[in-house]
């Protein structure tokens, strides 16, 4: 596996791959890789000639400085994991390499068509501008045929699909299912910040969501929403930030089950100081 830290060296490699008609698959990450990421990478390796992975903790998508500082980083361990599953190129630039001074100091503007006004977008102003800024830049550098994203970040996936349409990228966006611990806790780099006890408590999030699916035909959407929030908040150490039941494409919050055929419940819960997200498909 090649480890590349400069845009110029990456461009040289990509030019050679494209000239020799290789199909490039791409997995953008912020590192601290866990099995969820590795599932994306394995799929990318199996569906393309060459798999490129980026590890870059993107400062422009953090609206909270403290969150950026404590975000787990371990590029050496990441490189070993990636080499073991067949990644061909690891691109791991510094923020100074990735962005010009001007890019770092100007707010990137993108028309999200309202997708950023709900859920994570409401709670983390500017977050999705930063995500689109870095992913569009990475897409232009890597020029992949396919790019792989986890469905855990449901809103991010919807926004990336919109970006690809609006910016005319000829890239297939492949959404991959959430990978969970045996306890049901969705794998996340942030889980590394949980204590052992918190990790057990956090498993309750998926347990409550999974159970709620059974009540779909018996309760109104609002009753079910409140029941989920109450059950999670009744658990010592957990506090729901929001639970939104939305249309899977527009991310519009719904009032009743007949409003859409594509319904997903998206949740953010604080477990101690750690902010965890998860989701469940109802329809
Ligand atoms: O999902 C993530 O890890 C990040 O938001 C991404 C897509 C790598 C952009 O920094």
Tens digit of pLDDT at every position of the chain (283 positions): 999 999 999 999 999 999 999 999 999 999 999 999 999 999 999 999 999 999 999 999 998 888 899 888 999 999 999 999 999 999 999 999 999 988 887 777 888 888 988 999 888 888 999 999 999 999 999 999 999 999 999 999 999 999 999 999 999 999 999 999 999 999 998 898 999 999 999 999 999 999 999 998 899 999 999 999 999 999 999 999 999 999 999 999 999 999 999 999 999 999 999 999 999 999 9
Tokens found for residue 221: 């959407």
The residue contributing the CA closest to ligand 1 atom 1 is: 29
**Ligand 1 atom closest to Cα of residue 54:** 8
Given a contact cutoff of 8 angstroms between Cβ atoms, the answer to whether 212 and 224 are in contact is yes
**Ligand 1 atom closest to Cα of residue 58:** 10
The residue contributing the CA closest to ligand 1 atom 9 is: 131
**Ligand 1 atom closest to Cα of residue 131:** 9
**Residue 243 to residue 211: CA distance in whole angstroms:** 15
Q: Classify 192 in phi/psi space as left (phi over 0), alpha (psi -120 to 50) or beta.
A: alpha
- From 57, 93, 139, 153, give the residue whose CB has the most ligand 1 atoms within 8 Å, as the site to mutate: 153
CA–centroid distance, 226 to ligand 1, in Å, is 30
Which pLDDT value is given to residue 217? 87
Given a contact cutoff of 8 angstroms between Cβ atoms, the answer to whether 249 and 165 are in contact is no
Provide the 3-class DSSP secondary structure of residue 261. Answer: coil
Which pLDDT value is given to residue 123? 86
**What are the residues whose beta carbons fall under 8 Å from the beta carbon of 219, sequence distance 6 or more?**
227
The residue contributing the CA closest to ligand 1 atom 5 is: 131
- From 131, 137, 151, 176, give the residue whose CB has the most ligand 1 atoms within 8 Å, as the site to mutate: 131
**Ligand 1 atom closest to Cα of residue 153:** 1
Tell me which residues have their CB closer than 6 angstroms to ligand 1: 28-30, 58, 61, 131, 134-135, 153, 156
Which pLDDT value is given to residue 111? 86
Catalytic residue among 13, 34, 37, 127: 37
Which pLDDT value is given to residue 127? 92
**Ligand 1 atom closest to Cα of residue 28:** 8
Task: Let me know if 127 is a catalytic residue.
Answer: no
CA torsion sign for 230, 266, 204, 32 is negative
Phi, psi of 55 (to 5 degrees): -120, 110
- From 58, 98, 121, 164, give the residue whose CB has the most ligand 1 atoms within 8 Å, as the site to mutate: 58
| β-pair type (238-247, 172-176) | unpaired
CA–centroid distance, 171 to ligand 1, in Å, is 17
Contacts of residues 258-264 at CB distance under 8 Å and 24 or more positions apart, as own/partner, are 264/154
**Residue 246 to residue 281: CA distance in whole angstroms:** 10
């Amino acid at each position: 596996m090649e480890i590349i830290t400069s845009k110029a060296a990456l461009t040289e490699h990509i030019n050679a791959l494209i000239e020799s008609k290789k199909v490039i698959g791409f997995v953008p990450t912020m590192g601290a890789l866990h099995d969820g990421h590795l599932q994306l990478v394995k799929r990318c390796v199996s569906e393309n000639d060459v798999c490129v992975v980026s590890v870059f903790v993107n400062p422009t998508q953090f609206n909270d400085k403290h969150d950026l500082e404590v975000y787990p980083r371990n590029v050496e361990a990441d490189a070993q994991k990636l080499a073991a599953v067949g990644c061909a190129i690891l691109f791991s630039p510094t923020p100074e390499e990735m962005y010009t001074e001007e890019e770092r100091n100007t707010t990137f503007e993108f028309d999200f068509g309202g997708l950023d006004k709900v859920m994570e977008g409401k709670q983390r102003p500017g977050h999705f501008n930063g995500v689109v800024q870095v992913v569009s830049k990475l897409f232009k550098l890597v020029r992949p045929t396919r790019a792989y994203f986890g469905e855990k970040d449901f809103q991010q996936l919807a926004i990336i699909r919109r970006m690809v349409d609006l910016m005319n990228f000829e890239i297939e966006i492949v959404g991959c299912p959430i990978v969970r611990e045996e306890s049901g806790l969705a794998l996340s780099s942030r889980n590394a910040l949980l204590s052992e006890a918190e990790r057990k408590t956090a498993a309750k999030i998926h347990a409550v969501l999974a159970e709620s699916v059974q009540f779909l035909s018996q309760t109104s959407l609002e009753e079910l929403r409140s029941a989920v929030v109450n059950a999670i908040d009744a658990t010592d150490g957990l506090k729901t930030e929001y639970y939104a039941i939305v249309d899977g494409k527009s991310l519009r919050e719904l009032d009743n089950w007949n409003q859409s055929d594509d319904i997903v419940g998206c949740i953010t819960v604080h477990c101690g100081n750690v902010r965890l997200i998860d989701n469940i498909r109802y329809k």
